[in-house]
């Protein structure tokens, strides 16, 4: 049974106006970025089956996990099968990387500037080639595990670029960089600069009294002492930062275990009732 804190989950989405046809086939663009040393990567796109002339559409960026989709399921297949583009009137995008990514810039390796690749190349490419809402309120992020953390710090470090993020089972409070991530973060100092809880402290003043921009989804597991989902929720609560927090029974650690559909529903709720999704804490001064 799922428990959704600070949020009464009632979906009354009217999708009839968007049509019931299946979304278009996946469109793949090849690009080369100086931030990745010039290697070829791909930007995959799913559009609504019908797009009105002159209309601008929001974009949902689906962030692949550190080892790609081979071990964790195929998120774009889910987006296509569940027809996210037509259901929500959104353009879905997933960019690839030449290796695992944590959506961070390496402090010294010029060909491992993954954050810059995403915000300087991927997002502008999509805006230049598709009729997007090219501002924060039109850009959404979702991911899980490492890419959930990546989505959180992409939002927090670029609040003027991204409007909302939904993260499931993300890394939140690893005090020290784990050995496996050293090749991506480089140093503990760089890791701590990106760490989600540190980013919250740094940007809380920009989020207090604002709209709900963070969706955190987590499940009961033995790793909470490491991942600290409750500490994350409490920190947002203490600051008085609006967020949605879903805490539920365990689901398989994969894209296709059921959570992705709920995450996207949370992101595209057009309007929350008064007080819903808002924390009840007293903002820090």
Q: How far apart are CA 85 and CA 100, in angstroms?
A: 27
Residue listed under structure tokens 């490492």: 146
Compute the distance between CA of residue 164 and CA of residue 42 in angstroms, rounded to an integer. Answer: 24
What is the four-CA torsion angle of 20, 22, 28, 33, rounded to 10 degrees? 30
What's the pLDDT score for residue 166? 95
Would you kindly state where each structural domain of the chain is located, as residue ranges? 3-7+17-267
Q: Note the CATH number of domain 3-7+17-267.
A: 3.40.50.1820
Residues of the chain with pLDDT below 50 are: 1-22, 223-226, 273-285
Closest CA to 133 of 46, 65, 58: 58
d(CA 65, CA 236): 25
CA distances from 90 to 52, 109, 118 (A): 12, 35, 19
What is the per-residue pLDDT across 143-170, written as a single tens digit (0 to 9) for each?
Answer: 988 888 899 999 999 999 999 999 987 8
d(CA 198, CA 60): 25
Alpha-carbon distance of 164 to 143, in angstroms, equals 12
Give the model confidence (pLDDT) of 91-137 as tens digits. 999 999 998 888 999 999 999 999 999 999 999 999 999 999 999 99
Spatial contact of 72 and 252, defined as CB atoms under 8 Å apart: no
Q: Which residues are CB-contacts of 11 (< 8 A; sequence separation ≥ 6)? A: 265, 269
Query: Whole-model pTM?
Result: 0.84
Angle of helix 146-157 versus helix 196-207 axis, rounded to 10:
40
**Cα separation, 107 vs 193, whole angstroms:** 11
Alpha helices in the chain (DSSP H): 75-81, 84-88, 114-116, 123-129, 146-157, 182-185, 188-194, 196-207, 224-227, 229-239, 259-267
Residue 280: both structure tokens together? 């009840």
pLDDT for the residue 46: 97
* Those residues with Cβ within 8 angstroms of residue 236's Cβ, 6 or more apart along the chain or in another chain: 200, 214, 216, 243, 245, 279, 281
The pLDDT of residue 71:
65
């Amino acid at each position: 049974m799922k428990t959704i804190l600070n949020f009464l989950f009632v979906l009354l989405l009217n999708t009839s106006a968007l049509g019931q046809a299946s979304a278009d086939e996946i469109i793949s663009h090849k690009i080369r970025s100086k931030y990745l040393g010039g290697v070829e990567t791909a930007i995959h796109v799913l559009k609504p089956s019908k797009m009105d002339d002159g209309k601008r559409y929001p974009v949902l960026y689906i962030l692949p996990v550190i080892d790609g989709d081979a071990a964790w399921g195929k998120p774009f297949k889910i987006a296509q099968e569940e027809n996210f583009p037509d259901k929500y009137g959104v353009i879905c995008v997933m960019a690839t990387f030449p290796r695992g990514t944590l959506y961070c810039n390496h402090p010294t390796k010029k060909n491992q500037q993954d954050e810059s690749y995403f915000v300087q190349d991927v997002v502008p490419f999509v805006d230049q080639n598709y009729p997007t809402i090219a501002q924060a309120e039109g850009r959404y992020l979702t991911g899980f595990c490492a890419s959930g953390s990546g989505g959180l710090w992409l939002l927090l470090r670029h609040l003027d670029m991204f409007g909302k993020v939904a993260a499931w089972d993300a890394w939140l409070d690893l005090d020290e960089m784990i050995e496996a991530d050293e090749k991506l973060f480089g140093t503990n100092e760089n890791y701590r600069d990106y760490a989600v809880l540190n980013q919250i402290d740094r940007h809380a003043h920009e989020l207090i009294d604002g709209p709900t921009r963070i969706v955190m989804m987590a499940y009961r597991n033995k790793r909470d002492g490491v991942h600290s989902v409750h500490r994350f929720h409490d920190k947002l609560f203490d600051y008085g930062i609006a967020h949605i927090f879903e805490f539920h029974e365990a689901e398989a650690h994969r894209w296709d275990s059921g959570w992705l559909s709920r995450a996207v529903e949370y992101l595209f709720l057009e309007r929350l009732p008064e007080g819903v999704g808002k924390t009840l804490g007293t903002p820090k001064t």
